[in-house]
Amino acid sequence: MSTATANADVVRSLGGVYASAWSPATQQVLYSPDTFGFGHDLVRGRSSLADLLPGDLASALLPLAIVDEASLACAVVQPIETGDAVLHPGLVVRVFLSAVDPGHQFAVLDTDPYLYVASLEAELAARGPGLDRVLDEIGVAYEQAYLKPGKRPRDFVVRPVRIACQNVIVALGAIAQDSTFDGLSVPAWQTCEVPHVATHEANRALAALTLCDAFARGGTMEIRFDRPASVMLDSRRITYSGHAEMQVPASLRRFGRARGIAVGAEDPAAITPREARDLFLAVTPMPVDLRARAHRAVTRHGLRPERACYTLLSQMWRDIELDLLLATSDRASSILAGGANWTDRTARQAESDAARAALMAGMYLRRLDGRDSAFAGVTDGVRVVEDTSLGVSWTIDEETSTVDFHLPSPMAPPWSDAITAAATETLTVAPRVHVSDADLALLRSRNGAVLLPHDVAAPPYMDVTVLRCPDRLADLDKAIEAKLLAARISRA
């Protein structure tokens, strides 16, 4: 699309915003010219942007609405270069009014100004009834029937969901399995943006939790928002015809547009199984290399995308563990599904070796990336235990089945048998149970190390650095078997 065409589309979209009749709740957050007589003054909003941003950036943005007390939704009216990406005219981005990480500034809220405001209109209209439904009825009924007596609810029971960050509730919902269409029914879904949470994170988190539940219940992964549901509160039955919007919630559709995912396109009142799988991939955090390997495994090796996403989100296998499995083993799909039959000894042995290597690599990454503030650096007696990771990253060599750990600063490799080990910023590690001559030659050339279980003897001629995992081989196998069992029973 040419710049002229994009600008014309922006003008038409903004014209639709200013010419439409919005509810008072929506008008309270909108910016508009004085001639339209509602919302906040557009001139004052542009002045605020000019005080905050450089001149070229401020002129490329038009204030559209207030997101929260610390950020605005702005329409892009001129192309903006942000690092590796270019924000094209027509996008709606979130502009923070205070200092934030550059990666969060100008995050995309929506793909069109009119669609954004229309989604706000639908969202705000349903927010009051939705909050009353979850907080005063569904939540109370669930507490009375299941939490207080300590009972486990059946799949068809309406279960409330609450997601909070730093004591601020950012998402509320309610879900239940519905046998009439073998999918998940959602009678409540409410999210919001808050200053200390990344853009769309509430939608992403609630979608991830909902999709994980849909997978675990064993249905078709269809999620509907127009199915009746009921709860018993104080001996009276309360029935809902469906979600307050009776369609895929506006905030979720907005999130889908921002991520390039069609949500509610085939059926406005439902997320179809195909859309659910695409959405599952979009809401599951993955490093770039892992996402590429997962896509390759889905298209070439028959891996079900929802199983890979559930595996990561449930922490059944962690990201580096799944990355190593997909990169180095053609048995990865079988491992994620619970492993080969116990009678197939050859397949089980191959899967065991791959799983042992992945588990040790994950343990070593956590050891490298962890930082205990009880160390000598603490002088004020205050020990911080939140977000103590160092930011270690990794790359996997598929040909040699080795992992390169990239450290933010030089560090002597932990778990080393050597009394003294040289500090390094890149550490090549080969997680192994059986060490070959080819492994030794490779590690010598790269000044790498071999990572072995605690009780596995190194070859007597070993002349490379040996790293000792704290767990014995039997401990690793026990942990692996627990993961395989969890995978086998994870989907009803």
What does the alpha-carbon distance between residue 425 and residue 366 come to, in Å, rounded to a whole number?
A: 16
What the block records as the tokens of 176 is 């239940």
**Shortest CA distance to 243 belongs to which of 274, 271, 212, 273?**
271
pLDDT of residue 178: 95
What the block records as the tokens of 203 is 């939608």
Location of each CATH 3.40.630 domain in the chain: 125-283
pLDDT of residue 1: 47
The pTM of the full predicted model, rounded to 2 decimals, is 0.90
Write the CA distances from 374 to 106, 381, 407, integer angstroms. 37, 9, 21
Is the C-alpha dihedral spanning 57, 62, 67, 71 positive or negative?
A: positive
Going by their DSSP bridges, the two strands 393-397 and 402-411 should be labelled as antiparallel
**Shortest CA distance to 108 belongs to which of 66, 63, 60, 76?**
76
Going by their DSSP bridges, the two strands 223-224 and 183-191 should be labelled as parallel
**Shortest CA distance to 158 belongs to which of 194, 185, 128?**
185
- Buried-state track 23-59, b at ≥16 Cβ within 10 A, e below 16: eeebbebbbbeeeeeebbebeebbebbeeebeeebbe
Identity of residue 301 = H
Write the CA distances from 175 to 157, 160, 268, 276, 334, integer angstroms. 8, 7, 18, 15, 30
Q: Angle at which helices 201-216 and 273-283 pack, to 10 degrees?
A: 130
CA atoms within 13 A on the CB side of 382: 3
Torsion of CA 294, 299, 304, 310, to 10 degrees: 20
> Coil, strand, or helix at residue 216?
helix
What is the number of other CB atoms lying within 10 angstroms of the CB of residue 185?
26
pLDDT of residue 98: 87
pLDDT of residue 387: 58
pLDDT of residue 3: 53
Rounded to 5°, the CA angle 249-254-257 comes to 130
Fold type of domain 125-283 = Aminopeptidase (3.40.630)
What does the alpha-carbon distance between residue 219 and residue 179 come to, in Å, rounded to a whole number?
A: 9
Query: How do the pLDDT tens digits run along the chain, 492 residues long?
Result: 455 555 788 889 999 999 899 999 999 999 988 767 677 888 888 988 888 888 888 899 999 999 999 999 999 999 988 777 889 999 999 999 888 888 899 999 999 999 999 999 999 999 999 999 999 999 999 999 999 999 999 999 999 999 999 889 999 999 999 999 999 999 999 999 999 999 999 999 999 999 999 999 999 999 999 999 999 999 999 999 999 999 999 999 999 999 999 999 999 999 999 999 999 999 999 999 999 999 999 998 889 999 999 999 999 999 999 999 999 999 999 999 999 998 999 999 999 999 999 999 999 999 999 865 555 455 555 655 555 678 899 999 999 999 999 999 888 889 987 656 678 889 999 999 999 999 999 999 998 999 999 999 888 877 889 999 999 999 999 999 999 999 999 986
What does the alpha-carbon distance between residue 337 and residue 485 come to, in Å, rounded to a whole number?
A: 9
Determine phi and psi for 47, rounding to 5 degrees: -65, -40
pLDDT of residue 462: 79
pLDDT of residue 22: 93
